[in-house]
Chains A and B, each alone.
Chain A
Amino acid sequence: MSKIIKTTAAGGAGFLAGLLLERGLESLTGLDFVDGLFAVSGSILAALSVNRDLVQAAARNIEQMFGKDPLEITESEWRQFKELNPKTAEWLEKALKI
């Protein structure tokens, strides 16, 4: 029983020390360690989700341009969009298999 208490206390103290050190270093250097640790995995995730982000950004532009949901735009509105954004439109057609 005392062993469990000792281990828990040591673990808690270690956690607090780590937290204080991290906060201290963060305030001294202005760097966020947790962000740093996840930066590499973040870049891999970014590569996987950037296509989805492109589609969403293009959809937002269509919505702002025509004031309606991209699914509701007419053929002529799509042609207008395509004229102004040929590369995006072509890519969207491929990505969404229109």
Chain B
Amino acid sequence: MIPVSFLTSMLAGLAAKVGINQLTKHGYMPQSTYLKAALKALEKDDLDEAIKSYHLAVKKWPPSQRTEIAAEIISMAIAVRVAKLQRRVDELERQINPRRFSLQFWHNLLPKNKQRLEELRQEQQGCQEAISVLHRMKEKLHEKD
């Protein structure tokens, strides 16, 4: 037989948990809770979660200096990733479409390199798609709900 007091405390714990979950979900918890979650997500490279937590931080509370800084940090993290991908796109571009009559140009004409060139083209396309996703994320970050 489970004691009544034990069940009461379990129910109280359950009610508190559900209540806190709902408060957290709707942006009623202290702003720093969401900022911390956003920065934690950013550390784990989870930009979607970082942006979501940032939006929750400013959903019910007015923007503060700390939220502005967090937005700048997230935006900067996106920009750093875009720059890295862009460097790779440029690097691939030089390999796929080299200067006419350069060594790479003749190298690309060899039939044995066709497969490799195709792979490079696919990688370049993947990088470009990732860049556009990151740009959309940046727009989403600055969007007002």
Chain A residues within 8 Å of B, Cβ to Cβ: 14, 17-18, 21-22, 25, 29, 31-33, 35-37, 39-40, 42-43, 46-47, 49-51, 53-54, 56-58, 60-61, 64-65, 84-85, 87-88, 91
Chain B residues within 8 Å of A, Cβ to Cβ: 2, 6, 10, 13-14, 16-18, 20-21, 24, 29-30, 32-33, 35-36, 39-40, 42-43, 65-66, 68-70, 72-73, 76-77, 79-80
Tell me the complex Cα distance, A49–B30, Å.
13
A61 x B18 contact (CB < 8 A): no
Q: Decide if the interface of chain B is mainly helix, strand, loop or mixed.
A: helix
Q: Which residues of A contact B30 (CB under 8 A)?
A: 43, 46-47
Tell me how far the C-beta of B101 lies from the nearest C-beta in chain A, rounded to whole angstroms.
35
Q: Which residues of B contact A54 (CB under 8 A)?
A: 35, 39, 66, 69-70, 73
A-B contact pairs, 9 of them (CB 8 A): A18-B6, A31-B14, A37-B17, A54-B70, A56-B39, A57-B77, A61-B73, A61-B77, A88-B72
Q: Which listed residue, A35, A37, A50, A65, touches B36 by the CB 8 Å rule?
A: A50
A91 x B17 contact (CB < 8 A): no
Tell me the complex Cα distance, A41–B21, Å.
14
Q: Which residues of B contact A36 (CB under 8 A)?
A: 13-14, 16-17, 20-21
Known: A36-B13, A36-B16. A57 touches B43 (CB 8 A): yes
Tell me how far the C-beta of A28 lies from the nearest C-beta in chain B, rounded to whole angstroms.
11
Tell me how far the C-beta of B12 lies from the nearest C-beta in chain A, rounded to whole angstroms.
10
Known: A65-B76, A87-B72, A88-B73. A57 touches B20 (CB 8 A): no
Q: Which residues of B contact A46 (CB under 8 A)?
A: 30, 32-33, 35-36
Tell me how far the C-beta of A10 lies from the nearest C-beta in chain B, rounded to whole angstroms.
11
Tell me the complex Cα distance, A65–B18, Å.
41
Tell me how far the C-beta of A19 lies from the nearest C-beta in chain B, rounded to whole angstroms.
12
Known: A21-B10, A47-B30, A50-B35. A33 touches B77 (CB 8 A): no
A37 x B39 contact (CB < 8 A): no
B42 x A57 contact (CB < 8 A): yes
